[in-house]
């Protein structure tokens, strides 16, 4: 039996976080949600130490404590290879360049429609 794709979502905007998780669950994905980068990195370490993994990580860029870019850098430091989708309402071209240099696979500007969101997810998981 094929396993459900597991996606970790890190965003401090509770309503958007719940909406993204709900949308992904309806599409058959397993979701793990956290509201900051520190909790995200702890979940990632815990998951990988149990010989499990994520198929995709979605991170907001502006979060208290640890930014999405810092989260991506910490994931890289752990030598974990996973597609990452960054989302932000404050994006600019230099941020996108920094994200791509750090290994981020895709970027989505807020606000976005859930259909646009699912289109990006589908493309990343091909």
- The CATH number of whichever domain residue 76 belongs to comes to 3.40.50.2300
CA 44/CA 33 separation, integer angstroms: 11
| Alpha carbon distances (Å) from 29 to 9, 44, 48 | 12, 17, 18
Q: Is residue 1 part of a domain?
A: no
Identify the three-state secondary structure at position 55: coil
Q: Can you give the pTM of this predicted structure? A: 0.95
pLDDT at 91 > cutoff 90: no
Give the pLDDT of residue 61: 95
Q: Is residue 115 part of a domain?
A: yes
The structural domain count of the chain equals 1
Cβ atoms within 10 Å of 6's Cβ, excluding its own: 16
Nearest CA to 62 out of 37, 92, 93, 42 is that of 37
Q: What is the pLDDT of residues 5-61, one digit of tens each?
A: 999 999 999 999 999 999 999 999 999 999 999 999 999 999 999 999 999 999 999
Domain extent for 22: 6-124
What is the DSSP code (8-state) at residue 88?
E
Nearest CA to 112 out of 103, 123, 121 is that of 121
**H/E run at residue 37:** helix 37-49
């Amino acid at each position: 039996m094929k396993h459900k794709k597991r996606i970790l979502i890190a965003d401090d905007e509770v309503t958007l976080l719940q909406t993204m998780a709900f949308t992904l669950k309806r599409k058959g994905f397993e979701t793990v949600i956290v509201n900051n980068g520190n909790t995200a990195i702890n979940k990632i370490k815990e998951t990988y130490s149990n010989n499990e993994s994520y198929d995709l990580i979605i991170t907001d860029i502006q979060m208290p404590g640890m930014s999405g870019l810092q989260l991506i850098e910490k994931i890289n430091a752990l030598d974990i290879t996973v597609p990452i989708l960054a989302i932000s309402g404050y994006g600019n071209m230099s941020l996108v360049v920094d994200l791509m240099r750090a290994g981020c696979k895709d970027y989505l500007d807020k606000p976005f429609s859930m259909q646009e969101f699912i289109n990006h997810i589908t493309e990343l998981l091909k």
